[in-house]
């Protein structure tokens, strides 16, 4: 699996940024929330090599063998709770920008997929899960969790056509510490600009979803139509076959064209 992360590598990578490294944990999002409740500052980072109850969207599990991925949660403390929906977008854009650095001079293409996936050559390479903690009605903090497949090989697995890793897609060796350094830099950049229209614009322009015919499977319904836009809050606008506009907040997209 290559070199495992450790305190020393992370200290060198993260400099003065507060971080916690857990060789094994439940979920880095839980750790980040718990630490935030005890006062972790904006930008504090939790990293783990192995999660025993890693979470994905829609109640799914996120499973990754030790050393295979970058599993990280960043504590954010947005001052304007109205912008909370932007944080997932921030995570996806930051991961996408980071990947673009690491696929430079290859023919691999990085794309965003609604609502919060990042793709390499149309296959999922990373997912984002932002979770908030509230003090009554006041937003206390958000754990921005990201899982990036770095050296998983999905060949001959049930996920072969749908998932990839950076090393599998590029054939390059990837230094996870360098990946983390770049990622937190992009998160710092955008978390200082959460209200900047450029964030939403970058996301929208690089979504593989807009203009495509697709189905969205949400918890209880399936929609079919053409994706026409994404709202400021990250919702998907779908023009269904009967000409109606639907605003969709969550679901799984399958492209049909």
Site for ligand BTN in 92-151 (CB under 6 A): 117, 127-129, 145-147
Q: Which stretch binds ligand BTN (CB under 6 A): 4-12, 56-64, 81-89, 237-245?
A: 56-64
- The one among 7, 34, 41, 60 contacting ligand BTN by CB under 6 A: 60
Is 171 in contact with 102 (CB distance < 8 Å)? no
168's enclosing H/E stretch is helix 166-170
DSSP 75-122: EE--S-GGGTTHHHHHHHHHHHHHHHHHTTTSS--EEEETTTEEEETT
Q: Is 162 in the site for ligand BTN (CB under 6 A)?
A: no
Minimum CB separation of residue 131 from ligand BTN in Å reads: 8
Minimum CB separation of residue 249 from ligand BTN in Å reads: 15
Is 256 in contact with 250 (CB distance < 8 Å)? no
Quick one: which of 149, 125, 145 has its CA closest to 57?
A: 145
- The one among 13, 20, 29, 118 contacting ligand BTN by CB under 6 A: 29
Q: Is 91 in the site for ligand BTN (CB under 6 A)?
A: no
Q: Which stretch binds ligand BTN (CB under 6 A): 6-14, 26-34, 192-200, 228-236?
A: 26-34
Minimum CB separation of residue 251 from ligand BTN in Å reads: 12
Q: Which pair of structure tokens corresponds to residue 141?
A: 């903090």
Distance CA 22, CA 161 (A): 31
Distance CA 230, CA 247 (A): 9
Minimum CB separation of residue 175 from ligand BTN in Å reads: 19
Closer CB to ligand BTN, 56 or 66, in the complex: 56
Contacts of 152 (CB under 8 A, 6+ apart): 64, 65, 68, 69, 163, 165, 168
Q: Is 62 in the site for ligand BTN (CB under 6 A)?
A: yes
Q: Which stretch binds ligand BTN (CB under 6 A): 24-32, 167-175, 207-215, 222-230?
A: 24-32
Quick one: which of 10, 45, 180, 163 has its CA closest to 102?
A: 180
Contacts with ligand BTN by CB under 6 A lie at: 27-29, 51, 54-57, 60, 62, 71, 73, 117, 127-129, 145-147
């Amino acid at each position: 699996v290559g070199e495992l992360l450790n305190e020393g590598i992370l200290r060198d990578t993260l400099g003065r940024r507060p971080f916690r490294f857990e060789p094994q944990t439940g979920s880095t999002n839980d750790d980040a929330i718990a630490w935030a409740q005890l006062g972790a500052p904006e930008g504090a980072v939790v990293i783990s090599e192995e999660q025993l109850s890693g979470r994905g969207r829609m109640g799914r599990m996120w499973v990754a063998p030790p050393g295979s991925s970058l599993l990280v949660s960043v504590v954010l403390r947005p001052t304007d709770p109205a912008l909370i929906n932007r944080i997932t977008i921030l995570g996806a854009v930051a991961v996408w920008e980071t990947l673009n650095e690491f696929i430079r001079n290859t023919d691999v293409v990085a794309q965003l997929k609604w609502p919060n996936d990042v793709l390499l050559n149309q296959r999922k390479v990373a997912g984002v899960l932002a979770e908030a903690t509230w003090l009554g009605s006041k937003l206390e903090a958000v754990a921005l969790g990201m899982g990036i497949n770095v050296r998983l090989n999905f060949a001959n697995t049930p996920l072969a056509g749908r998932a990839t890793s950076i090393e599998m897609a590029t054939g390059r060796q990837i230094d996870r510490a360098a990946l983390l350094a770049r990622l937190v830099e992009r998160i710092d950049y955008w978390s200082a600009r959460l209200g900047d229209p450029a964030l939403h614009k970058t996301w929208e322009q690089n979504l593989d979803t807009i203009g495509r015919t697709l189905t969205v499977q949400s918890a209880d319904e399936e929609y079919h139509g053409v994706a026409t836009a994404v709202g400021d809050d990250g919702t998907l606008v779908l023009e269904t076959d009967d000409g109606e506009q639907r605003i969709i907040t969550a679901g799984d997209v399958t492209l049909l064209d």
